Amino acid sequence: MIKAGIIGGGGYTAGELLRILIRHPEVEIAGVQSASQAGKLVSDTHDDLLGETNLRFSAELPKSVDVLFLCMGHGQSPQFLQDNPIPENVAVIDLGNDFRLDENWVYGLPELNRERIRHSKRIANPGCFATAIQVALLPLAQAGLLKNEIHVNAITGSTGAGQAPSSNTHFSWRANNLSVYKAFNHQHLAEIMRSLGQLQANLAHDLNFIPLRGDFTRGIFATTYTEFDLSVEDLKKLYADYYAEHPFTVISEVNPHLKQVVNTNKALVYVEKHGNKAFIISAIDNLTKGASGQAVHNMNLIFGLPETTGLGLKAGLF
């Protein structure tokens, strides 16, 4: 059994990670650290786990682990690792944004870096918006076909803002409401452009990204378009070929909707051609494929397990 530890166990991503790992057939949870929740039952904080586990939060680091998941707030992981040196043989998967551009860490998007992930012990999990947008664009970058500006509009649920309350996550503000934030300068742009440049070295065009806050709890629905001079048949073949061996990115033949991916580790991708433009829809759950599910996918790769182990999560449509 793989012994897993979680650091920063009180937040949304840690809750999702626990939901997955408790049912993972090859994992034993060695400990869940949370300074703010120490001594409490995990199910007191993550109450969907009532009856699923008797684990308690600890203020101490889990001992004798094979993999450590860092679920702390952005900016906290470097200080944690400085204060708590982790042996080289222990895999560390950081769910924050601190190491996504660090050359010493492997960027943990399996659809891009699957083989590098298999041979690494330091994984920087991608951002949720970044995941949804990259799965929409990787096939075009691989073919060197991102030849003009890219335009992306994407909406996310309130859990994407984390568990700490704020004015724009309050129910009274968020319900029946819609707003744009960080237009053209979202923090995930750097990792997206780096990944696309990994596949298309001459990429020199802007990615114009308009993120929106939605009045729902979880999921990301992104629409992307850019110039594309080949046929719709060529477009569909590019995507089918690129994702043929990737179990979690599914090409839809019909226009998808968000409920198809919520509570799953799937990314749905749908393509159309309009005039001289490729139009791509991508949809993920921000907490699973965009965070904790992808972290477990990375763990499976590191430890030589089938990629889908423990991740057979099904959407609940209604």
CATH code, 181? 3.30.360.10
Say what the alpha-carbon torsion angle 40, 219, 150, 237 is, to the nearest 10 degrees: 120
Q: Do 275 and 297 fall into the same domain?
A: no
| % of the chain exceeding 70 in pLDDT | 97
d(CA 94, CA 7): 10
Q: The domain that contains 61 carries what CATH number?
A: 3.40.50.720
pLDDT digits (tens, 9 = 90+) for 149-207: 999 999 999 886 555 666 667 777 888 999 999 899 988 999 999 999 999 998 988 99
Residue 115 lies in a domain: yes
Strands 207-213 and 179-180: antiparallel
Q: Do 280 and 139 fall into the same domain?
A: yes
Mean pLDDT, range 69-76, rounded to an integer: 92
Q: Do 116 and 146 fall into the same domain?
A: no
Residue 180 lies in a domain: yes
Q: Do 161 and 35 fall into the same domain?
A: no
Instruction: Judge whether residue 73 has pLDDT over 90.
Output: no
Lookup: tokens for 21: 């790992």
pLDDT digits (tens, 9 = 90+) for 223-268: 999 999 999 999 999 999 999 999 999 999 999 999 999 999 999 9
Lookup: tokens for 36: 């703010």
Q: Do 35 and 121 fall into the same domain?
A: yes
Residue 167 lies in a domain: yes
241 and 193 in contact (C-beta within 8 Å)? no
CA angle 31–70–13, rounded 5-degree value: 90
d(CA 316, CA 260): 8
pTM: 0.95
Q: Do 139 and 270 fall into the same domain?
A: yes
Residue 316 lies in a domain: no
pLDDT of residue 162: 59
pLDDT digits (tens, 9 = 90+) for 92-139: 999 999 999 999 999 999 999 999 999 999 999 999 999 999 999 999
Residue 315 lies in a domain: no
Average pLDDT over the chain reads: 94
Q: Do 9 and 34 fall into the same domain?
A: yes
Q: Do 104 and 136 fall into the same domain?
A: no
d(CA 117, CA 124): 10
Domain count for the chain, please give it: 2
Residue 112 lies in a domain: yes
**Residue of 93, 128, 261, 302 with catalytic role:** 128
* Domain enclosing residue 88, as ranges: 2-125+289-302
pLDDT of residue 63: 87
pLDDT of residue 284: 98
Q: Do 275 and 135 fall into the same domain?
A: yes
pLDDT of residue 164: 61
Residue 33 lies in a domain: yes
Closest CA to 38 of 21, 20, 56, 25: 56
Q: Do 245 and 152 fall into the same domain?
A: yes
Q: In what order do the strands lie in the sheet with 67-70?
A: 57-58, 27-33, 2-7, 67-70, 91-94, 122-124, 106-107
Lookup: tokens for 163: 């568990």
Q: Do 61 and 136 fall into the same domain?
A: no
Residue 243 lies in a domain: yes
Catalytic site includes residue 128: yes
Q: Do 140 and 109 fall into the same domain?
A: no
